[in-house]
Chains A and B, each alone.
Chain A
Amino acid sequence: MADPRLLIVDDEERFLTTTKALLQKRGIVTFTSTNGTKAMEILERESIDVVILDVKMPGLDGVEVLRVIKKRHPLVEVIMLTGHASAESAVGGLNLGAFDYLMKPCDIQTLIDKINGAYAKKETALENLRKTKIDKIISHPLEVFDKDRSDNP
């Protein structure tokens, strides 16, 4: 299993830089963004496996961002990060398809464990998807040409 590619979205810039440095050191390719809009751009541009999303941010709210991510990139796993009152929103986030949520302050090891969990889930989902595709190809070889474009974002 390759190392996961990660995107952290949080309005605390210092947190982003430090965490990025720590994660990079531990072999996780990390992108950062201070707001939802920029995060969406990065998601479009880069191949991202897991997103860590602060629930409360100025501008586009964490839950809103989650919704968009799940709509446009259903395979990307999202971990909600909450530092405050919005644990309820985080739980709401779980209902919207987030992988899990973490309460601030959390140490780096917990974060990494969660990231790995999310990544594993994504990989399994992808694997399943591939299998079904292969099954399909075996049963209906000609359909591959029709649907290939839509499967690949």
Chain B
Amino acid sequence: MGNNDFRQTRKTILVRVLLLPFIIILIVFGILVYNFATYSSKQVRSELERVAMDHRTLILQFLAEKVADLTFISSSYSIDELKSTTSLTEIFRRLQSVSVAFFDLGVFDEKGNHLAYAGPYDLAGRNYAQTEWFKAVQEKGLYISDVFLGYRNIPHFVVAVSRNQGDHSWYLRATIDTFAFNDLVENIRIGSTGEAYLVNRKGILQSRRRSGGRLMEPDPDFDTYQIEKEKINSFTTGNYFDRQYLYAAGELRSTGWIMVVRQAANDAYAPLRFSVMVSIIIIIGGVIVVIIMGYIQATRMVNSLNFADMEKQQMKTQLVIAGKLAEVGEMSTGLAHEINNPLQVMKSEITMIKDIIPDIEKIVRAHDPDPENLRLLTDSVEQIGIQIDRCGNITQGLLKFARKTDSSRQPIEMQEFIPEVVRMVEQRAYLENIRIIQELDPDIPPLMTDSNQLQQVFLNLLNNAIHALKGRMPAEIRIQCSKKGDDLIIKVMDNGCGISPEDMEKIYLPFFTTKPVGQGTGLGLSTVYGIVNGLGGEITVESEINNGTMFLIRLPLVTQDRTTEEGGKI
């Protein structure tokens, strides 16, 4: 499995197993938070609207009360009764005892002449015909003014009512103390920035604004108000991201004033913002934790999958190799048989020729004292004999690989045996500057095995190691021998040139060699394989190009002699 596949699998696990459900939960959570936020902001608005509504009602009631007081007086008394300052003062005193908001009281005739006055100032006798309030009350019968300074130079507003008596009309006017009135509006507090105030139609403040704005000053935010008749409207100013204020505003019908309740958006939405913020932090935190955990888990999972895959692959390769070797072994024995029989015949024939040659020599010499041809013939015959032996050696090697040779077992002490074998190659290793290190466990029990065969195993492995270390510095062969369970573990390691992956499958095949032509028969490792298998053990190899090779041989300490078992059946 390549690195890419590894990433792919990890990604798949992350997406399918962890992220997908998580995204669904995220969507659900997101919808909940969104709905909660919408609902909460609606709540905030309606709360503000409710406050505005309540206060509007309160102010309207206050004004209606004042109007009712005046109407009551105007309809209870005639103009003649009220013309006298004493009786007016008496009535005013009674009025004040009911409501301290009344500041003064005045009576006017049709022409705007101030007939009588009760209050702290002396205003009687003046003419008001040209004043705005007088014109308005003449026209409508009832008038509530905006706040103004008037002659007295203090902010106040007036309430005036008209009375028709026969052909004449007269007018009753009261001044309302704005300070007392202001308290009604100003005392509203919502959160830390919430406030309420009144403006008239032209945007002049009719009550103080806590966040700045004195009485009778124009309201700088006036153009943002959205007013509809009767209704309380709520709205926000600023853009979507930078909201400044949340407003609730509505008209006071009887005066044309506007009741404004407003709160800084930051303040109004603070709890909502806080809870949404917490939610988002939790979501983000959750995402991070899930991704990290998922990543770790997926990596772990993929790692173990990878490992299992690798093991499987290795096992498969081993099986393939074993199968291939078994086949080759079968073939090798057949081949060895077919060749050995004719070799035997040839050998007999060669012996026969050699027997005959002296006889022939006598005859030839009788004619030719120095028979050149005869010498050549003898030479040829000799050569044929050598070549037959060579063939014989090859077939012997093949038979060893196919492990059809005899083994005679006796107990062998590895602590003595291995150094002995090493001594055989020591001289060669020394010449190549190779160090041979032996690491033998002192408590290895004697191994029941065929010492000749085991010696061949070691010699072949050491030969290969020496070959692999040719020209390398530092060159080192390490032989380890230890006991593990019921098995003896022998490791032969070198830091040589290693075996290429392509060659890995072929190394045990007879006649496979990487040595130059003529230097190796290609039977070394196949012999080793055959012997180890014949002894009931197994051999595995690990190798890395340019890093070295390790052969691991596992031999059973408790002997199961295959050869004799099988032999016994015959």
Q: Do B567 and A92 touch (CB < 8 A)?
A: yes
Q: Do B348 and A92 touch (CB < 8 A)?
A: no
Q: Do A105 and B347 touch (CB < 8 A)?
A: yes
Question: Which of the 9-residue segments B6-14, B56-64, B338-346, B375-383 touches chain A?
Answer: B338-346
Once A18-B352, A22-B352 are accepted as A-B contacts, the answer to whether A87 and B405 lie under 8 Å apart by CB is yes
- Residue B337 interfacial (CB < 8 Å): yes
Contacts of B337 in A (CB 8 A): 56, 83-86
- Residue B291 interfacial (CB < 8 Å): no
Q: Do B348 and A22 touch (CB < 8 A)?
A: yes
Q: Do A84 and B336 touch (CB < 8 A)?
A: yes
- Residue A106 interfacial (CB < 8 Å): yes
User: Which chain B residue shows the least CB distance to A13?
Assistant: B345
Q: Do B570 and A89 touch (CB < 8 A)?
A: yes
Q: Do B336 and A85 touch (CB < 8 A)?
A: yes
Question: Which of the 9-residue segments B19-27, B396-404, B455-463, B552-560 touches chain A?
Answer: B396-404
User: Which chain B residue shows the least CB distance to A20?
Assistant: B348
Q: How far is the CB of A15 from chain B (nearest CB, A)?
A: 5
Q: Do A106 and B347 touch (CB < 8 A)?
A: yes
Q: How far is the CB of A105 from chain B (nearest CB, A)?
A: 4
Q: How far is the CB of A63 from chain B (nearest CB, A)?
A: 6
- Residue A19 interfacial (CB < 8 Å): yes
Instruction: Give the one of B337, B341, B402 with max A CB within 10 A.
Output: B341
Once A22-B351, A22-B355, A107-B351 are accepted as A-B contacts, the answer to whether A83 and B340 lie under 8 Å apart by CB is yes
- Residue B388 interfacial (CB < 8 Å): yes
Q: How far is the CB of B400 from chain A (nearest CB, A)?
A: 10
Q: How far is the CB of B492 from chain A (nearest CB, A)?
A: 27
Q: How far is the CB of B49 from chain A (nearest CB, A)?
A: 106
- Residue A108 interfacial (CB < 8 Å): yes
* Residue in A85, A105, A107, A108 whose CB lies within 8 Å of B334: A85
Q: How far is the CB of B305 from chain A (nearest CB, A)?
A: 44
User: Which chain A residue shows the least CB distance to B340?
Assistant: A83
Interface size on A, residues (CB 8 A): 29
- Residue B84 interfacial (CB < 8 Å): no
- Residue B361 interfacial (CB < 8 Å): no
User: Which chain B residue shows the least CB distance to A61?
Assistant: B570
User: Which chain B residue shows the least CB distance to A63?
Assistant: B570
User: Which chain A residue shows the least CB distance to B396?
Assistant: A103
Q: Do A106 and B344 touch (CB < 8 A)?
A: yes
Contacts of B391 in A (CB 8 A): 105
* Residue in A12, A91, A105, A108 whose CB lies within 8 Å of B406: A91
Q: Do B341 and A92 touch (CB < 8 A)?
A: no
Contacts of B399 in A (CB 8 A): 84-85, 87
Contacts of B405 in A (CB 8 A): 87
- Residue B369 interfacial (CB < 8 Å): no
A residues 63-89 touching B (CB-CB < 8 Å): 63, 83-89
* Residue in B333, B344, B564, B569 whose CB lies within 8 Å of A105: B344
Q: How far is the CB of A88 from chain B (nearest CB, A)?
A: 5
- Residue B372 interfacial (CB < 8 Å): no
Q: How far is the CB of A24 from chain B (nearest CB, A)?
A: 11
Q: Do B567 and A104 touch (CB < 8 A)?
A: no
Once A25-B355, A103-B396 are accepted as A-B contacts, the answer to whether A19 and B348 lie under 8 Å apart by CB is yes
A residues 7-35 touching B (CB-CB < 8 Å): 12, 14-15, 18-19, 21-22, 25
Q: How far is the CB of B480 from chain A (nearest CB, A)?
A: 33
* Residue in A12, A84, A107 whose CB lies within 8 Å of B333: A84
Q: How far is the CB of B153 from chain A (nearest CB, A)?
A: 136
- Residue A152 interfacial (CB < 8 Å): no
**CA gap between A86 and B406 in the complex, in Å:** 10
Contacts of A95 in B (CB 8 A): 564, 567-568
Contacts of A21 in B (CB 8 A): 352
Q: How far is the CB of A12 from chain B (nearest CB, A)?
A: 6
Q: Give B321-358 as 1s and 0s: 1 = Cβ < 8 Å from A's Cβ atoms.
A: 00000000000011011101101111111011001000
Instruction: Give the one of B347, B396, B569 with max A CB within 10 A.
Output: B347
- Residue B119 interfacial (CB < 8 Å): no
B residues 463-520 touching A (CB-CB < 8 Å): none
Q: How far is the CB of A27 from chain B (nearest CB, A)?
A: 13
**CA gap between A12 and B341 in the complex, in Å:** 8
Q: How far is the CB of A18 from chain B (nearest CB, A)?
A: 4
Q: Do A105 and B352 touch (CB < 8 A)?
A: no
**CA gap between A81 and B367 in the complex, in Å:** 43
**CA gap between A107 and B348 in the complex, in Å:** 7
**CA gap between A46 and B345 in the complex, in Å:** 26
Contacts of A83 in B (CB 8 A): 336-337, 340-341, 343-344
* Residue in B347, B396, B406, B568 whose CB lies within 8 Å of A107: B347
User: Which chain A residue shows the least CB distance to B343?
Assistant: A105
User: Which chain A residue shows the least CB distance to B567?
Assistant: A92
B residues 375-425 touching A (CB-CB < 8 Å): 388, 391-392, 396, 399, 402, 404-406
Q: How far is the CB of A97 from chain B (nearest CB, A)?
A: 13
- Residue B566 interfacial (CB < 8 Å): yes
- Residue B433 interfacial (CB < 8 Å): no
User: Which chain A residue shows the least CB distance to B352?
Assistant: A18
**CA gap between A103 and B396 in the complex, in Å:** 9
User: Which chain B residue shows the least CB distance to A21?
Assistant: B352
User: Which chain B residue shows the least CB distance to A85?
Assistant: B333
A sample of 27 inter-chain contacts (CB < 8 A) reads: A15-B345, A15-B348, A19-B348, A63-B570, A83-B337, A83-B343, A83-B344, A84-B338, A84-B399, A85-B333, A85-B334, A85-B404, A86-B404, A87-B399, A87-B405, A87-B406, A88-B406, A89-B567, A92-B566, A93-B570, A95-B564, A96-B570, A104-B344, A105-B343, A105-B344, A105-B388, A107-B347
Chain A contact residues, CB within 8 Å of chain B: 12, 14-15, 18-19, 21-22, 25, 56, 63, 83-93, 95-96, 103-108
- 10 cross-chain pairs, A with B, having the tightest CB-CB distances, nearest first: A84-B337, A85-B333, A83-B340, A92-B567, A92-B570, A105-B343, A18-B348, A104-B344, A104-B340, A105-B344
Chain B contact residues, CB within 8 Å of chain A: 333-334, 336-338, 340-341, 343-349, 351-352, 355, 388, 391-392, 396, 399, 402, 404-406, 563-564, 566-570
Interface contacts beyond A14-B345, A56-B337, A91-B564: sample of 13 additional A-B pairs, CB < 8 Å, sorted by A: A18-B349, A18-B352, A19-B348, A83-B340, A83-B341, A83-B344, A84-B337, A84-B341, A85-B333, A89-B570, A105-B340, A105-B343, A105-B347
